[in-house]
Amino acid sequence: MLLDLHTHILPDCDDGAKSVKISLELLKMMKSQGITNVVATPHFYPDSDTIDGFKARVSSALGKLEKVKPKDFPEILIGCELFYFRNISKSEYIKDFTINNSHYILLEPNPYFIDKIFMDEILYLKNDLGLIPIIPHIERYNKAKGFKTFLNFIKENKILTQVNCASFFDRAYNRTIKTLFEKRLVTFIATDSHSMNRPPMMGLALCEIENRFSPQAKQIILHNLNSLLNDITNKEQTDEIEQFKYL
């Protein structure tokens, strides 16, 4: 079993796959890389989306795709890439954005708001609401003000993070990814696939982790992805500090 926790494969749902045909091509590539379960995480932007409109859009796109998806293609679970907004922890709809109705939520930082308020809200989500935030493509915020402070916060509070597979092959992120691995701040990797121009690269990324870092680092990533898959499908609350291994 292999989970891809961050993708934009639903047809014509956001800036990802623009047709069912492209969605199927992406899923076929994922299957060839050993991926068995995929979380579709369409973007939700609070300044332009409504919760009802978002749910309707996702439901329609998933229905179109499931009608034609071969049975041996990866199973699709529904989540969301939720863009951070002020007072997000007070939103009455916050639990509607979790991955497969679990307690995990993919929370995309606003690079202009990586500050104490943002970090306090993450802790409120985690400690008061029982949600477990996952920070997607953490490497992409390396130029944001407060990034180093944010990394310290992540380490001190054992916040879960995800690195994009494609970033292992982008020189702009080489130093940042090296730092993240050295500081043991990478919990997961994911493809963040959007199109054939931004395809899934799970297999290549796993090989790169093994070659650049160590076979143990690769095994830890695989362990964490499997643990997350078990949790989001069983829907049983677990202690993520014990569940996930840290590089």
Answer for the pair 15, 43: CB distance below 8 angstroms, yes or no. Answer: yes
* Whole-angstrom distance, CA of residue 159 vs CA of residue 244: 11
Express as a percent the part of the chain with pLDDT over 90: 93
Out of 48-52, 124-128, 191-195, least confident range: 48-52
**Exposed, middle or buried by CB within 10 Å (0-12, 13-18, 19+), for 112?**
exposed
DSSP state of 162: E
Q: What is the mean pLDDT of residues 83-88?
A: 95
Sorted by where each begins, the domain ranges of the chain are 3-243
For residue 234, the model assigns a pLDDT of: 84
Class of 3-243 per CATH?
A: alpha beta
In this prediction, residue 237 has a pLDDT band, given cuts at 50, 70 and 90, of: low
For residue 236, the model assigns a pLDDT of: 56
pLDDT digits (tens, 9 = 90+) for 106-146: 999 999 999 999 999 999 999 999 999 999 999 999 999 99
Q: Bin 23: left if φ > 0, else alpha if -120 < ψ < 50, else beta.
A: alpha
Q: What is the mean pLDDT of residues 201-205?
A: 98
pLDDT digits (tens, 9 = 90+) for 7-45: 999 999 999 999 999 999 999 999 999 999 999 999 999
* Whole-angstrom distance, CA of residue 221 vs CA of residue 213: 12
* Whole-angstrom distance, CA of residue 208 vs CA of residue 173: 14
pTM of the model: 0.94
- Kind and range of the H or E run holding 108: strand 104-108
